[in-house]
Amino acid sequence: MEVHFDGKRALVTGAGKGIGRDTAKALVKCGAEVFALSRTQEDLDSLVQEYPGIQPVQCDLGDPEATKAAVESVGPIDLLVNNAGIIILQPFLDVTLDAFDKVMNTNVRAVLQVSQIVAKGMVERGTGGSIVNLSSLVSKSVLKEHTSYCASKGALDVMSKVMALELGPHKIRVNTVNPTVVLTDMTRKIGYGDPAKAGPILARIPLGKLVEVDDVVNAILYLLSDKAAMVNGTHLPIEGGFLTS
C-alpha cells in the first residue's frame, strides 16, 4: 500500500528524535511539505542536514505563548501529528504536583493548543484534514510508577474522541495510535533497553518483540492518508497482541 501526500502541508511535533523524527522523514518521502517542531535546535539542525526540504520550527511546547507564535508562523496545515511527549517516573505516593503538571502540559495541554490553531485554519479553509495524536497502550493497561504518564494518555484518548466528534462535520479526522513500549531514546533512558525491565512486557506479547519505530510510523501514515477516509475517533493499538493476554 502506497500513500501520497503531494501538495499537502504537514506539521509534526516532537520531530527531533524517535517516532517524530522518522515520521517527518517519511512524510517528505510521501511528497508532503513538512514542518518539524522540536525544542532542541541541534536535533532540528541534524534533521535538516538529512532532509534539506524540511522546515525546522524550534519551540518548547511547555510555553503556551511560544507555542502559539510558532504554530501560527507555519501557516496552513493539512496533516498534523501531535507526537511530542514526556515521561517522569514516580511511585504514586511520591508523585509531585510539579512533575504531574509538566507531563500534563506537554502531553495534553500542548496537543489541545496546537490542534486548536491548526483545526481552526482547516475549518476556515473548508478543506478538511487529518490529525493523529500519539497516545500509548498505558491508557488501557497501566504500569507502576507511570501515574502522570498514564493519566496524560487517558486524557489524550478522551480528548481525541471529542475532537473527532466535533471536527468530523468539517471533514477533519482525528485518531490516535496507542503503541506499547517502543524502543526509542526516551524508553531506553527509563530502562527498557534492559531485558530485565522489558521482560515482563515481552512475556505478554504473542509476537515476542517490542514495537519498532517503523511500526508506529506506518500506522501514522495510514491514518493520515485517504486510505483511512472512514476512520475517525479510533484508538489504534500497536502491541503485537499484548491486549489478548
Bridge partners (DSSP) of residue 174 are 131
**Strands of the sheet with 9-13, listed across from one edge:** 55-58, 33-38, 9-13, 79-82, 129-134, 172-179, 235-238
C-alpha cell at 61: 511546547
Query: Of the residues 51, 149, 192, 222, which is catalytic?
Result: 149
C-alpha cell at 47: 534533521
Q: Which residues contact residue 230 at a Cβ distance below 8 angstroms, ignoring those fewer than 6 apart?
A: none
pTM equals 0.95
- How many angstroms separate the CA atoms of 216 and 203, rounded? 21
Q: Is 51 an annotated catalytic residue?
A: no
Question: pLDDT tens, position by position, for the chain (245 residues)?
Answer: 689 999 999 999 999 999 999 999 999 999 999 999 999 999 999 999 999 999 999 999 999 999 999 999 999 999 999 999 999 999 999 999 999 999 999 999 999 999 999 999 999 999 999 999 999 999 999 889 999 999 999 999 999 999 999 999 999 999 999 999 888 777 777 777 777 778 888 899 999 888 999 999 999 999 999 999 999 999 999 999 999 97
Nearest CA among 45, 17, 117, 30 for reference residue 74: 117
